[in-house]
Chain A
């Protein structure tokens, strides 16, 4: 979940 959140940002 943590990494899913991260890919969201640029």
Chain B
């Protein structure tokens, strides 16, 4: 489940990068969500400096870090002219500040690394909101953008199955990650519904008026 989750996460990022690169445009993509994701990776993968788990683990962490910053570069620099700034108006301080406060209050251990890890988990769970807000504001999304959102939504959903599996087989569970993972997946539910009922039937993702 974890491997499938990771793969679906990687596929989401590749879809997004390819979309921007091939169409030479980042229209419909929320730069703010991408900034939040880069923040998530940067604060979570600080453990690259302290803990070695496996080559797979290290490579994946580096990949998420580099691709998320590459995406930001494409949106805010290379294809800046195509960035839909007027529709990307979600106030991200409403996500950043509460996540930080929550991480300071509810964590496993009050240390810099641990609080930042917790912050990354909380922030990740809501990081997609600017993107979903943008889709709801414009009332539609290109098919490729919906494939990206679908793959990204599947990733945390698959992680929930991984957590159930780990709880059963290793008796390991991390309540912070589980609750945040559920919140994150629930946020995608509405989108999943539209994806299955519209995009998979060859229609464009268009919100009911």
Which residues of A are at the interface with B, using a C-beta cutoff of 8 A?
A: 2-10
Contact B2 A4 (CB under 8 A): no
Judge whether A4 and B51 touch: CB under 8 Å: yes
Whether B83 sits at the interface, judged by CB under 8 Å, is no
A-B contact pairs, 27 of them (CB 8 A): A2-B108, A2-B172, A2-B174, A3-B51, A3-B108, A4-B51, A5-B170, A5-B172, A5-B174, A6-B117, A6-B177, A7-B47, A7-B51, A7-B53, A7-B57, A8-B53, A8-B57, A9-B2, A9-B162, A9-B177, A10-B2, A10-B6, A10-B9, A10-B57, A10-B60, A10-B61, A10-B64
Which secondary structure dominates where chain A touches chain B? Answer: helix
**Which chain B residue has the least Cβ–Cβ distance from A8?**
B53
Residue of A nearest to B170 (CB): A5
Using a CB-CB cutoff of 8 Å, which residues 96-143 of chain B contact chain A? 108, 114, 117
| Alpha-carbon gap, A3 to B64, bound state (A) | 21
User: Chain B contact residues: over half helix, strand or loop, or mixed?
Assistant: helix
Residue positions of B touching A, CB distance < 8 A: 2, 6, 9, 47, 51, 53, 57, 60-61, 64, 108, 114, 117, 159, 162, 170, 172, 174, 177
Q: A2-B172, A7-B57 are in contact. List 13 more A-B contacts (CB 8 A).
A: A2-B108, A3-B51, A3-B108, A4-B51, A5-B170, A5-B174, A6-B117, A6-B174, A8-B57, A9-B162, A10-B9, A10-B61, A10-B64
What 9 A-B pairs have minimum CB-CB distances, sorted nearest first? A7-B51, A7-B47, A5-B172, A7-B53, A8-B53, A10-B60, A10-B6, A6-B174, A10-B61
Q: Give CA–CA (A10, B58) in the complex, Å.
A: 10
Distance to closest chain B CB from A8 (angstroms): 5
